[in-house]
Amino acid sequence: VPAELSARLADYQREGVRWMLEKLSGPSGACVLADEPGLGKTVQAIATIV
C-alpha cells in the first residue's frame, strides 16, 4: 500500500487490507469484505488493488 494512502487508513482498515491481500494470494484467490456500513470498505478495496 502506498505510504500516502496507508497514512490515511484507520488501523482496522490497514488490518483489513492485509487480510484481503493474504486471502487473495492464497489458494482460493478470493475474499469477501463484509464490514459494517460506514467503515470504509471502498477505501480498503482501493488500497488492496493499488
Give the predicted TM-score (pTM) of the model: 0.88
The predicted pLDDT at position 24 comes to 97
Convert the pLDDT of each residue in 20-41 to its tens digit: 999 999 999 999 999 999 999 9
pLDDT band at 2 (very low <50, low <70, confident <90, very high): confident
Query: Are the CB atoms for 17 and 41 separated by under 8 Å?
Result: no
The predicted pLDDT at position 1 comes to 79
**50 HSE (CA, 13 A, CB side):** 13
CB atoms within 10 A of CB 1: 17
Distance, CA of 21 to CA of 6 (rounded, Å): 14
